[in-house]
């Protein structure tokens, strides 16, 4: 685990469109410096009373923590504090968009965020989506006892589609001469959710990107297979979520991982008709209720001791 070097306060950004259910609830914002050469943008929201647990949100490729305001709000209303951070190379964090010299740095960044923001007496949970799900599972392989539980939504274990042959050829050639070569991804809103109006209402949509470098693509591709190989080592309680109409990541791969994972406490929920972002789907209220119930059920025994 890398040590946290410094933090610096950041005043709230001036965004007039941060309204409604997608607004982060009274969040504090900071930049977290890791290794002295990367700066991670972090949001932190607390309930009015003492927090029952702390949930760290890990977003997917090309997005940013601001898209999880409604998730944070639902969890804060259940009495949990919530931490969201922009992965390096994403959102307001530093780094080249869509590129990563060392993909394992994302796992180490998650460790740094947990070390910095987890209250010492409060159980820690993760809520991770897509590439963030892969990062979270890699983290849990290496840190088996840090988290009380993890909610993993639509993890990138295997893709649900085959990229065009010419893009793969370019990427393979680039790995030999230009590993940072970036190509555009085709992630249209209809592949993410059936609720287009909800997706369009997020603040700061300019922070989205649809880029991925050759080395980052092959790191993520190999990372999914590494997770399958190390599934037995993951013993943290898990709630796995996936839509059966996800055109981005493979829900059958999530089912296969569920069978292999070493956790004794594990649940798999497949949502009929849902696409890639289950937490942004038409029935997201039901999903967030289930997530809150699942976390609360694992906090309650600790509160009684």
pLDDT in tens, 162-196: 887 677 777 678 777 877 778 877 778 999 999 99
Alpha-carbon torsion angle 266, 272, 276, 282, nearest 10: -110
Percent of all residues in the chain with a pLDDT value above 90, rounded to a whole number: 71
Task: State the distance between the two ends of the chain, measured CA to CA, in whole angstroms.
Answer: 30
Q: Supply the pLDDT for residue 17.
A: 37
- Contact assessment for residue 56 and residue 117, using Cβ atoms and an 8 Å cutoff: yes
What does the pLDDT average to over 81-88?
96
Q: Indicate the domain borders of the chain.
A: 4-304
User: Is it the case that residue 52 has pLDDT exceeding 60?
Assistant: yes
Top pLDDT among 103 and 109 is at 109
CA distance linking residue 139 with residue 110, whole number of Å: 7
Are the C-beta atoms of 85 and 41 separated by less than 8 Å?
A: yes
> pLDDT tens across 129-162, in order?
999 999 999 999 988 788 999 999 999 999 998 8
What's the average model confidence in pLDDT over 248-265? 97
State residue 55's pLDDT score.
98
Q: Cα 227 vs. chain centroid, distance in angstroms? A: 16
pLDDT averaged over every residue in the chain: 89
What mean pLDDT is predicted for residues 71-97?
A: 96
The reported pLDDT for the residue numbered 305 is 64
pLDDT for the residue 190 = 94
3-state secondary structure the chain: CCCEEEEEECCCCCCCCCCHHHCCCCCEEEEEEECCCEEEEEEEECCCCCCCEEEEEECCCCCCHHHHHHHHHHHHHCCEEEEEECCCCCCCCCCCCCCCCCCHHHHHHHHHHHHHHCCCCCCEEEEEECHHHHHHHHHHHHCCCCCCEEEEECCCCCECCCCCHHHHHHHHHHHHHCCCCEEECCCCHHHHCCCHHHHHCCCCHHHCCCEEEHHHHHHHHHHHHHHHHCHHHCCCCEEEEEECCCCCECHHHHHHHHHHCCCCCEEEEEECCCCCCHHHCCCHHHHHHHHHHHHHHHHHHHHHC
Contact 88, 105 (CB under 8 A): yes
Q: Is the pTM of this model over 0.75?
A: yes
Mean pLDDT within 243-258: 98
The per-residue pLDDT for 98 is: 87
CATH class of 4-304: alpha beta
Asked which of 73-77, 94-98, 268-272 is least confident by mean pLDDT, the reply is: 94-98
């Amino acid at each position: 685990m890398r040590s946290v070097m410094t933090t610096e306060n950041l005043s709230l950004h001036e965004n007039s469109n941060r309204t409604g259910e997608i607004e982060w609830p009274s969040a504090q914002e900071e930049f977290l410096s890791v290794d002295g050469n990367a700066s991670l943008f972090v949001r932190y929201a607390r309930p009015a009373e003492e927090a029952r647990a702390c949930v760290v949100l890990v977003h997917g490729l090309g997005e940013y923590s601001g898209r999880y305001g409604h998730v944070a709000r639902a969890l804060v209303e259940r009495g949990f504090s919530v931490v969201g951070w922009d992965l390096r190379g994403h959102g307001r964090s530093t780094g080249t968009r869509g590129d990563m010299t060392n993909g394992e740095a994302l796992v180490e960044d998650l460790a740094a965020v947990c070390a910095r923001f987890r209250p010492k007496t409060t159980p820690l949970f993760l809520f991770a989506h897509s590439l963030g799900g892969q990062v979270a599972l890699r983290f849990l392989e290496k840190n088996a006892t840090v988290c009380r539980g993890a909610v993993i939504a639509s993890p990138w274990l295997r893709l649900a589609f085959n990229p065009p042959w010419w893009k793969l050829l370019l990427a393979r050639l680039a790995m030999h001469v230009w590993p940072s070569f970036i190509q555009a991804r085709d992630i249209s809103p209809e592949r993410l959710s059936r609720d287009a109006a909800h997706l369009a209402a997020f603040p700061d949509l300019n922070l989205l990107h649809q880029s991925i470098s050759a080395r980052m693509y092959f790191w993520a591709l190999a990372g999914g297979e590494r997770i399958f190989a190390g599934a037995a080592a993951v013993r943290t309680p898990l709630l796995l979520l996936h839509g059966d109409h996800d055109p981005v990541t493979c829900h059958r791969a999530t089912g296969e991982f569920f069978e292999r994972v070493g956790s004794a406490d594990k649940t798999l929920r497949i949502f009929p008709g849902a696409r890639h972002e289950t937490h942004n789907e038409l029935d997201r209220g039901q999903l967030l209720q289930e997530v809150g119930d699942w976390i609360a059920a694992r906090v309650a025994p600790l509160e009684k001791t």
